[in-house]
Structure 1
Amino acid sequence: MNSYKIKINEWVKNGKSIKELAEKAGINRSYLSTYVNNIDNLGEGTVEKVETALHEFFSKKKVVNNSISFYNTKDAMKVFALLDEIANTKEIGYICGNTGRGKTWAVRKFCDANAYNIIYIRCDESFGVRDLIEEIEIALGFNESYGTTRKRVRKLVKHLIQNPNYLLIVDEADKLLRSFTSKKIEVIRTLWDEVNEDGLFQRLGIVLVGEESLPTLLQQGVNMKEETKRVSDRIFSGVTLRGLEQEEITDILDGLDIDVTEEASNRLIKRGTGKNGNLRLFIRTLKNCLKLAHSNDGDITLKTVEESIKMLAR
């Protein structure tokens, strides 16, 4: 699913109609409906015109009042493209980036807006092999399962062969590699190998999501164990998130329904970019700015930004 269809799905999920979107974006209603439901029935030139109008419309307003909608950053678009690719090729891929870059935000948005069969699990430091298997079982709707690790893995493999075309997303996957055992990541490799029969069939795609160190951890292996490197050898493609760019923050601020002073804008840009800035800090700070500005019926000033930052530190 392309990025414009994701935005349209989000629009409809918010209780708005295709008719309203067509009117606001200046698109022929019939063309927009066909674009959503059967794009192959539109000519290349018409598709281009529809997408140009959608781009212009969705770029105008990213933030309204105190509610910040999802913003399609360049990083988010890379995440969408990678997930879409792996969902279709059934290979193994990765998404990595430092804390606060918006990895989980973009992944969850993709999951919410897509019709793919998605298994989403999020790991933590306490995960053992059985915990990992149980999370996948729960995501698939299994009843409480018992038996040895191997027996439960075989059950998962059988189900995924009988019900192909799943995309397994393992968030915080680097935490599976920060221990003295490679057994957890070996479960992931085993699922892909046995469901896809070593790549002969395309039944299951897997995307590992984690910190920027994830590719290195996969290449080096857990304590240099060969089992972990086996996963690295199967990686088809991956993306590294680089964070917000100044122009992206400027676009977001331009979409506000209140004015932002130049000093405040520069402070927010610093908050969202550079070595110490990230998407999470920027969005949380901006939410507080909007709350303060609207309660005071004023603009967002440097003082507003500084006060918003102090609120986060409390």
Structure 2
Amino acid sequence: MLINQIKQMMADKELTQTQVAKECGFSAGALSSFLKGTYKGDNDKLEAALQSWLDGQTQKTAVFVSAPDFVNTPTASKIFADLDFVKMFGKMGVVYGASGVGKTQSARQYTKQNNNVWMITARPSICTINEVLYEMALELGISDAPKRAGKLSRMLKTKLSGTKGLMIIDEADHLPLKVLEEIRILQEDSEVGFMLIGNDKVYTQMQGGFNQQHQFARLWSRNAKKQSVQKNSKQDIDAVAKAWSIDLSDSKLMNALYTIGQSAGSLRALTNYLQLAGLTAQARGEGITLPLILSAQKQMEC
């Protein structure tokens, strides 16, 4: 029976009714009624949409090779340690460096694993004081947050104070000095940890270029932790390869992974290649080999 199949798939993949309804294009209320057998609308249309969704999920389960949810690499462990420090002591820190080395994924995993850790992402549309403070408020569960910066700041100070928590701001290189100063003051007033994550630009902005004088001095001196991650180590690549069940004793294959994983984009690119290679490997009923990885690399770089 379709209802039982839908319920089983939701249980197996730990999906909520809201998620399934959104993917099928109708309301969570309609799905809830259907699963209870009380839906009064067009049951044929809804059943067709659910059957199509179920078929898609079954196909994914059969042929799709996904990346491991998270690989705890040595680099990730270092980032975790810095996040622990700024959270424990209510300090401000920055993790900066090349893209694709695992900074964001490490921060997301840390957020999942720890209480009172919140994470927002700055971007061109979220880089003013109002927008950044409002994003923090939403992350903290303040659904009726005001739009005025002053009121927002006071509300956030009250909400954060005493939590012994940590606010992580990813893509912080988008933030100008005025916003960084607002964050510094909020961090000091609330006495919770703040970690800024981004590329090298966030480091130079907080440093004031190469000049630590004048308006940048207060900001720069508050940074208790400064972690640079410019590329991944061979140990990082080993951890990723092990997570994908690759034979680490195959020196030719591993040397190729080191070359890929320590170049621009590093772990992100390597994971993409492994995912595509894994699809082919599974279809053939074999393990991931060097030719499959190189073929995936060639396809994705075209």
Q: Which residue of 2 aligns with 1:11?
A: none
Q: Identity over aligned residues, as a percent?
A: 26
Change (3 A) 1:221 1:192: farther
2:97–2:198: 8 Å Cα contact kept in structure 1? yes
Aligned residues of 1:92 and 1:207 also touching (Cα < 8 A): yes
Kindly provide the amino acid, as one letter, of the partner of residue 184 in structure 2: R
Corresponding residue for 1:33? none
Cα offset for 1:228?
4.1
* Within-5 A mapping of 1:197-208: 203-208=191-196
Q: Could you tell me how far apart the structure 2 residues matched to 1:225 and 1:135 are?
A: 30
Q: Name the amino acid aligned to 1:103.
A: K
Amino acid at match of 1:272: G
In structure 1, distance between residues paired with 2:243 and 2:139: 37
Cα distance in structure 2, aligned partners of 1:136 and 1:291: 39
The 1:112/1:97 distance shift into structure 2, 3 A limit, reads same
Give the CA deviation at 1:225.
Answer: 8.8
Q: Residue 233 of structure 1 aligns to which amino acid in structure 2?
A: S
In the other structure, the counterpart of 2:189 is 194
Q: Are 2:130 and 1:130 equivalent residues in the alignment?
A: yes
The one-letter code of the counterpart of 2:118 is I
1:171 aligns with 2:170: yes
1:237 aligns with 2:225: yes
The code of the aligned residue for 1:144 comes to: D
- Corresponding position of 1:265: 254
Q: Tell me how far apart the structure 2 counterparts of residues 150 and 252 of structure 1 sit (CA, whole Å).
A: 45
Give the counterpart of 1:286 among 268, 274, 294: 274
| 1:219 aligned residue (192, 207, 232) | 207
Rounded to whole Å, the distance in 1 between the matches of 2:212 and 2:232 is 34
Q: CA deviation at 1:222?
A: 12
Judge which range, 224-233 or 94-103, deviates more: 224-233
Q: Deviations over 1:261-300 (max 9, x none)?
A: 65443322211014x3511111111111211112122343
Compute the displacement of 1:218 (Å).
0.6
Q: Which amino acid aligns with 1:186?
A: E
2:85 matched to 1:90?
Answer: no
Q: Deviations over 1:156-199 (max 9, x none)?
A: 222323x431211111111103xxxx32112201202322xxxx
Structure 1 CA distance for aligned equivalents of residues 287 and 192 of structure 2: 50
| 257-266 or 238-247: bigger deviation | 257-266
Tell me the C-alpha RMSD between the 2 structures.
2.8
Answer whether contact 2:204 2:210 (CA < 8 A) is retained: no
Calculate the TM-score normalised by the size of structure 1: 0.67
Q: For residue 70 of structure 1, what is the amino acid of its counterpart?
A: F
Instruction: Please name the residue that 2:113 is paired with.
Output: 113
Structure 2's unaligned 5+ residue stretches are: 1-12, 15-64
2:285 is the counterpart of 1:297: yes
User: How far apart are the structure 2 equivalents of 1:258 and 1:167?
Assistant: 36
Cα separation, 2, equivalents of 1:225 and 1:149:
27
Count of residue pairs the alignment pairs up: 238
CA displacement 1:95-121 (0-9 Å, x = unmatched): 112111110001111111113x11211
CA–CA distance in structure 2, aligned partners of residues 284 and 144 of structure 1: 39
Per the alignment, in what secondary structure is the counterpart of residue 70 of structure 2?
coil
One-letter code aligned to 2:134: E
Deviates more, 1:215-224 or 1:94-103: 215-224
Asked if the contact 2:207/2:220 (under 8 Å) is kept, the reply is yes
Structure 2 partner of 1:9: none
- Using the alignment, how far apart are the partners of 2:145 and 2:93 within structure 1? 28
Name 1:28's counterpart in structure 2.
Answer: none
Give the whole-Å Cα distance in 1 for the aligned partners of 2:163 and 2:219.
21
Gaps of 5+ in 1: 1-13, 16-64, 196-202
* Cα drift, residue 212 of structure 1: 2.5
